Amino acid sequence: MSKNLYMKKIGEKAKLASLNLSNLNVNKRNSVLKQFSQYLKANEKSILSANKKDIANAKFKKIKDSMIDRLKLNSKKISQIRNSIEKIAKFKDPVGKTLSSWKRPNGLIIKRMSIPIGVIGIIYESRPNVTSDVSALCFKSGNAVILRGGSEAFHSNKILSKIFKRALKKKKCDENCVQFVEHRGRNHVDYLLSSMKNHVDLIIPRGGKSLVKKVLKKSVVSIIGHYEGLCHVFVDREADLNMAVEVVKNSKMRNVSICGATETLLIDKKCLKTHCKPILDQLSKLGCKIIGDETIKKFISGKMKIATKKDWETEYLSPTISVKSVNGVVEAIDHINRYGSSHTDSIVTKNKKTAKKFLSNINSSIAIHNASTQFADGGEFGFGAEVGISTNKLHPRGPIGLDQLTTYKYILEGKGQIRK
């Protein structure tokens, strides 16, 4: 079967499934999610066996350790996936909510109601848990989903999507609510992006810069997502030292390979003597490479690479951080707005006025005061899971959870009114 015909059939099935899904009540949708969770537990050995194939292939191809880390599954991660799905099942139905309503002078009642988007295409890399999370989120929010995972996680993604289909079949629902593109060729992605506007309502890319760049360039379908996670922490002159050390340490080193990991640290020149060395010493102890400006070099014992413009623009996704000294909050804001990616940025300070200035003026989808940038996660927001993070200016923005996977329609209720 040609790629065109294969993808067109997937699109047609997804469109029909989305219509069938719109008639499923929330109890039925929740029962499918609970069944999916049970099947994940029952099929753990098969899932881990499939994942081992992906790990072996990744090592053979000499894929970076950070990517392999994202790829790995174990009993703990499967348990976390199941917990996430069960949380999603417990959330209120995001569909059919009255978002607002008002009565016009002529007696017409106007309501804005939440509805599913329709068919969502997800193109993603490495992490197999994305298959489970996005399938659950899309299904709960009434959307059919077409999954196109990276070739490095092919076997893991395939078995997880099949298990979801089994849950759908068990509960007598349309199995095409969740479809996985089982061809690894890039031509299938190209066709999905360029030729399926009549079947797909939204594309969400989740992966590295090259993937997102390709999707942005080729897609004729609407897109939400983020280009990269170039996140910052600014340590203000009035920052509590212990808090600053812990926030920076966690923001960078808790997990260096996620999009919410801090890549650049900005330190107010007024607190360099008290704050710089303790913070950098802690990062160094954890194995983090420091790249800083000439002023920062004075606080480093040993050799240090001097930062260039390229470093301020780099998402390392590794134990490396760029460090810059700045003249207060205004310069910190200017630097973030110039070099950041509108993802997540944090300020550490005891001064509420300074914090407010920072939070109001940085062009970020997530702005944080006195906490780690690694809270940029749908699970941490109480969403159960996320499809990704959006840095779009238009809806949605930030973590994409259940409510963000809906759109709305206006419903007008009248009593025979006609327009004069």
Looking at the predicted structure, is the pLDDT value of residue 166 above 90? yes
Q: The domain 3-224+400-413 belongs to what CATH superfamily?
A: Aldehyde Dehydrogenase; Chain A, domain 1 (3.40.605.10)
Higher pLDDT, 33 or 381: 33
The DSSP bridge partners found for residue 262 are 231
Question: Tokens 């999603």 appear where?
Answer: 88
Say what percent of the chain tops pLDDT 70.
100
Minimal CA–CA distance to 200: which of 186, 185, 183, 179? 179
Higher pLDDT, 123 or 185: 123
- Using pLDDT thresholds of 50, 70 and 90, give the confidence band for residue 3: low
Residue 125's CB is within 10 A of a number of other CB atoms, namely 19
Using only C-alpha atoms, the chain has a radius of gyration, in whole angstroms, of 24
Query: What's the distance, CA 318 to chain centroid?
Result: 18
Average pLDDT, the chain: 94
Q: How many Å apart are CA 196 and CA 32, to the nearest integer?
A: 28
Domain ranges of the chain: 3-224+400-413, 231-375
Spelled out in words, what is the top-level CATH class assigned to the domain 231-375?
Answer: alpha beta
Most confidently modeled range among 117-126, 267-276, 372-381? 267-276
Task: Write 94-103 long-range contacts (CB < 8 A, 24+).
Answer: 94/140, 94/141, 94/142, 94/402, 94/403, 94/405, 94/406, 95/26, 95/141, 95/142, 95/406, 99/408
User: What are the tens digits of pLDDT across the range 383-406?
Assistant: 877 888 888 877 788 889 999 999
